[in-house]
Amino acid sequence: MADEAEKEAETKETVVSEETKATSAVDEEEPTLDEKLEALQKKYDELEDRYYRSEAEMANMTKRFKKEQEQLLKYEGQALARDILPVIDNLNRALETEVDDAGSKQLKQGIEIVARDLEKALTSNDIVKIASLGETFDPTKHQAVKTVEVTEGQEPETIVQVLQEGYMLKDRVLRPAMVVVAQ
């Protein structure tokens, strides 16, 4: 019986030892409450960071979109204005011709009215002529077609003749003025 008691005691010790090992293994595998909280806090911080980055990206996209829309609206009609400029040139050439008879004078008056109305329409839409004659040459607004010697009373780099008017839409050059520059 002593052997049986010993065996039973050993069995109990083995069972208790195995339970202790199992409990400690479970403890090692299962994180503590603090570890769980720390992991959740880390995940929350990552998600919050992603959220704020997404919000900032959306705000930047909205700003960029509004700026692009403003630019489009600011320069709307640019293509139409460019297409009308040759018409203005032709009207001005027609006005430069000398007429003698009454019928031609009436026709010229009609062309003057059309040219004046067209200039008024362009001006009301922020399309203006580039000031050129007598001005200092500016390569961003003028295109030098020819140069001539500086005569007495002229400054170098001064525009002495305008061959074709230039036009601007707000702050953008639609067409540079073709000019003759004294050098």
Task: Encode pLDDT of 137-171 as tens digits.
Answer: 999 999 999 999 888 778 888 999 999 999 999 88
Nearest to 168 by CA among 144, 116, 132: 132
What does pTM read for this prediction?
0.59
In whole angstroms, give the CA distance from residue 107 to residue 114: 11
- Three-class SS state of 125: coil
- Evaluate if residue 76 carries a pLDDT over 90: no
In whole angstroms, give the CA distance from residue 61 to residue 126: 29
Q: What is the pLDDT of residue 24?
A: 52
Q: What is the pLDDT of residue 3?
A: 66
Task: Encode pLDDT of 30-74 as tens digits.
Answer: 889 999 999 999 999 999 999 999 999 999 999 999 999 888 777
Helices (H) and strands (E) in the chain, counts: 4, 6
What would the two tokens of residue 99 be?
């007429």
Mean pLDDT of 13-29: 57
